[in-house]
Structure 1
Amino acid sequence: MNFLIYFINNVLSQPIFILGLVVIIGMLAEHKPDSKILPSTLKAIIGFTMINVGGQTLGTALLPLQQLIAHIFHMTAPASADIGATQVASLADVGTDMAIIFACGFIINLLLARFTPLKFVHLSPHVSFFFAGLIAALLKFGTGLNFPTRIVVGSILLGLYMTLSCAYVNLLIKPVRGAQGFTLAHSSSSGLLVASILGELFGNKDHDLEDMKLPVKLNFLRDMTVALTLVMMLLFFILGLIAGPSFTMAKVAGGKDIVVFAITKGVEFGMWITVILAGVRMMLAEIIPAFHGIAKRLIPNAKPGLDIPLLFPQYPTSVIVGFLMSLTTGIIGMLLLAAFHYPIIVFPALIPTFFTGAATAIFGDAHGGRRGALLGSGANGFILIFGQAFLLPLVGTYAPIMRILSETDYCVYGPLLGGLLKILHLN
């Protein structure tokens, strides 16, 4: 058992190994020569690492905004400067359950893809790993089930989530540009559903957010890296100004002048976006052709579920608008909870706000144009803040990492599962 836990925690929990294995298996199934298998595997792994590390570091670059927003509204932001330390502390009580549920859930996903009509393979292990932790925490702190029962129930729940979320996103992704050959395996799936419905009901596809006309002199803003860099510079500067230059310099900027601080943070953000986009191109060029071998020979008609940054290059404006809209409604939700004296301090988690805000704006735009993007990402911000408020009391010592990484599915399915477990009285 100790070896199994070690293997899961140190090998299977590393997404590059699972992704690399998929590429190798797919290319072997296609009878590709050894001289092509190794380069393609390495390129896919490097591309994924660029996306993953870029996303994590980009998210970390947003964390100073929490301090500024908290100071502006006289609140205390969660201590989240060291994500690694928070993760280790959060896994102390659920780590074993989480690791085994993660591994067994992936196996169930593969079996469902092979033997049912739901031909979707969830290839975002970093997403399913933390969702396994959420399920483990809900079962451990919300029930009296013993260890083997928790593992069986948790594995089934994770396998179903991995398969079904890819399946319904596959239905929603059809009008999304640049999404041919894959579906999404991302914990914003419930938000994508809401955004797509709102877009269909109240939007207008004829008014695409990405088709907004700009003066000739501002055409450079169509470059995603440039636009995001400038937006982040302005956001850091304006919030730093509102929070107070002296506070920003002393408590957030490490003594830097507020203008210098805003420029450096914006450039840092833009740099990591560039890394992500380069990783997207590299990974897609290898993973999609390799997966054809799996789809033809091992899991007939299978479709890979991949991460949300793959869609960013096609929707640069939606990425910016989605983040800002979700952040705005998240702050409104935070203030509403404070006004009603909610017993737990809830603060917008900025990493999920960026990625799920971007995702919901993309799907809202694809289904309902500008109005759909605004409605979808706006609804997402409210879901994130109110869902987190309901989730945190249910997950015990897993709560600190959920304050940082609680994306839309955690905030929707977490409280629903927790409420169901209470109703069932599984003591």
Structure 2
Amino acid sequence: MDILLKVWSFFAVNVLQQPAFMIGLIVMIGYVLLGKPWYDVLAGVIKAIVGYLILTVGSGGLVSNFRPVLVGLKDRFNMNAMVIDPYFGQNAVTAGVEEVFGKTFGNAMILLLIAFIVNILLVRFRKITKMRALFTTGHVQVQQAATAYWLILFACPFLLNNNVALLIVMALILGAYWAVGSNLTIKPCQELTDGAGFCLAHQQMFGIAINTWLAEKLFGRKKDGKSIKKIDDIELPGFMSIFNENMVCTSILMVMFFGTILCVLGRDYLVEQKFMKEGASMFFYVIQTCLYFSVYLAILQLGVRTFVTELTASFQGIADKLLPGSLPGVDCAVVFGFGSANAVPLGFLAGFVGQILAIITLIVLKSPVLVICGFVPVFFDNATIAVFANEKGGVKAALILPFFSGICQVFGSALIAGWVGMAAYGGYLGMWDWAVVWPVMTGVMKYLSYGGVAIVVAVLVAIPQIQYRKDKKGYFLITENYEAYKELKGMKQE
């Protein structure tokens, strides 16, 4: 048993928690199952790993570039508050789970393993479960396993003395959430990318499904037959036409928005915190910092193009031989290479405005839990939602829905983190599903005991069944033959 745990620990640390190598492993298995020669397998694995590493350079750069603003808002205005960010949330669990519940954080990794097996089994028996997506983003799984561990410990104190039953209940809930959530993103992703062959496995899967539906229902095609106006359809007059170029649009918006915040923080503060060198020009520091957003976005999109091609091509081998009709669930940043590029900065800014207004409301109402916005939720949630919203509902949806998403992130996180006690340890995961969906699930389990656990699992399992019943002909066709699915969809529209 010890040997198995050591093997699992090695795999979890070096592969599962390193998404680049996890993607490389999936590509290798897929190409081997397809019978590719060894040199094609090797080339595909290298391109997949390098592509994902390029993506992480872009996303990591975006996060680090935002750090002066995040730290400044907290320190400059003496705000002692909880940060909503996946890494702050994971650190909060690590710091507090033993003190609050008498449990070790190591159990969260065992939970991750069992939940991943549950996800695989649910997809393997897709004809019964109607689930078609495998959650492959390991770093996200670690963050979610940590937060779910705390939330379920809080909601199910009746399981604290039975470690085996506790882990089984947790794994069923988390594994079902992974399978159902990523399954919900299949239709939006396939339609956005014209059948690229992947779905999303991240922190806002229910958020994507709900906001895509809202975009289509509230802002979609008009009754008079006129098509919706998407971001790229807007013809800007005169000098404003420069905003049609993504790199220019992102750069100007960031200079206007974050340049203003950096100027408010002031030169003395930026030098004191070593964000800016002594004697450096404040003007050029602000310009360079803001323009780096465009640089990192361009890097991120290059990474997406590099590894998605290999992943989707190789996953056909896994789909044919091991998990027929399934799709890989990948990082939400992958969709930034599809749809409108300008939806990314606009969705980010709309979500940020929503978060700031919600935080101001908490301060005015003297909330016992104050929130500091983290870059990961405000950017990756809201930019992703904007890409899908723009596709289905146009520019209005791409601005309005991320704005309300930002409000939900702050209010939902403040509510749940204060209630379960995570706020005292400085952080909460804070992304859409964990600010909206998981608080509801936690409340149901807390107040209905075993019955609540049964209800949560039953509702999760029922969601793909409902999806299937609404579109029996196209449900599996969308993953198995997208061109045939498009023909079917065209017949329906006629």
TM-score (norm: length of structure 1)? 0.90
Q: Does residue 19 of structure 2 align to residue 31 of structure 1? A: no
Deviates more, 1:90-99 or 1:290-299: 90-99
Asked if structure 2 preserves the Cα contact closer than 8 Å seen for 1:277 and 1:312, the reply is yes
Asked if structure 1 preserves the Cα contact closer than 8 Å seen for 2:16 and 2:139, the reply is no
- 1:230 alignment counterpart: 252
- 2:188 alignment counterpart: 172
Deviates more, 1:70-79 or 1:112-121: 70-79
1:385 aligned residue (407, 410, 425): 410
Alignment of 1:386-405 (within 5 A): 386-396=411-421, 402-403=427-428, 405=429
Deviates more, 1:374-383 or 1:226-235: 226-235
Task: Name the SS of the counterpart of 1:176 in structure 2.
Answer: helix
Alignment of 1:95-244 (within 5 A): 95-116=105-126, 117-144=130-157, 145=159, 146-177=162-193, 180-205=196-221, 206-215=228-237, 217=239, 219-244=241-266
1:351 aligned residue (376, 382, 387): 376
- 1:65 alignment counterpart: 69
CA gap 1:237/1:371 in 2 versus in 1, 3 angstroms: same
Alignment of 1:49-88 (within 5 A): 49-70=53-74, 75-76=79-80, 87=90
CA gap 1:383/1:88 in 2 versus in 1, 3 angstroms: closer
Deviation at 1:77, TM superposition (A): 5.6
1:424 aligned residue (448, 471, 477): 448
Distance 1:80 1:209 in 2: 29
Task: Name the SS of the counterpart of 2:232 in structure 1.
Answer: helix
Amino acid at match of 1:143: C
Asked if structure 2 preserves the Cα contact closer than 8 Å seen for 1:187 and 1:409, the reply is yes
Question: Between Structure 1 and Structure 2, how many residues are aligned?
Answer: 424
Question: How far does the alpha carbon of each residue in 1:62-103 deviate from its partner, in whole angstroms, 9 at most, with x for none?
Answer: 12222444578663465799x979855642545312211112
Asked if structure 1 preserves the Cα contact closer than 8 Å seen for 2:93 and 2:146, the reply is no
Question: How far does the alpha carbon of each residue in 1:212-258 deviate from its partner, in whole angstroms, 9 at most, with x for none?
Answer: 21346555544433432332233232112334454455457434443
Distance 1:397 1:203 in 2: 37
CA gap 1:188/1:402 in 2 versus in 1, 3 angstroms: farther
CA gap 1:383/1:31 in 2 versus in 1, 3 angstroms: same
Asked if structure 2 preserves the Cα contact closer than 8 Å seen for 1:25 and 1:294, the reply is yes
2:394 aligned residue (361, 369, 372): 369
Amino acid at match of 1:109: N
Q: Does residue 416 of structure 2 align to residue 406 of structure 1? A: no
Distance 2:371 2:382 in 1: 18
RMSD: 2.8
CA gap 1:42/1:270 in 2 versus in 1, 3 angstroms: same
Asked if structure 2 preserves the Cα contact closer than 8 Å seen for 1:322 and 1:359, the reply is yes
Distance 1:250 1:158 in 2: 44
Q: Which runs of 5+ in 1 are unaligned?
A: none
Amino acid at match of 1:103: L
- 2:323 alignment counterpart: 299
CA gap 1:77/1:396 in 2 versus in 1, 3 angstroms: closer
Asked if structure 2 preserves the Cα contact closer than 8 Å seen for 1:26 and 1:294, the reply is yes
Asked if structure 2 preserves the Cα contact closer than 8 Å seen for 1:66 and 1:77, the reply is no
Deviation at 1:174, TM superposition (A): 4.9
Distance 1:323 1:85 in 2: 20
Deviation at 1:182, TM superposition (A): 1.6
Question: How far does the alpha carbon of each residue in 1:233-289 deviate from its partner, in whole angstroms, 9 at most, with x for none?
Answer: 332321123344544554574344432221221233222222211111110121111
Q: Which runs of 5+ in 2 are unaligned?
A: 98-103, 222-227, 451-494
Task: Name the SS of the counterpart of 1:187 in structure 2.
Answer: coil
Asked if structure 1 preserves the Cα contact closer than 8 Å seen for 2:49 and 2:307, the reply is yes
Question: How far does the alpha carbon of each residue in 1:161-194 deviate from its partner, in whole angstroms, 9 at most, with x for none?
Answer: 1110112222334542456322211211222233
Deviates more, 1:349-358 or 1:258-267: 258-267
Question: Which structure has the bigger radius of gyration?
Answer: 2
Q: Does residue 42 of structure 2 align to residue 8 of structure 1? A: no
Deviates more, 1:236-245 or 1:259-268: 236-245
CA gap 1:399/1:63 in 2 versus in 1, 3 angstroms: farther
Amino acid at match of 2:408: I
CA gap 1:52/1:155 in 2 versus in 1, 3 angstroms: farther
TM-score (norm: length of structure 2)? 0.78
Deviates more, 1:180-189 or 1:266-275: 266-275
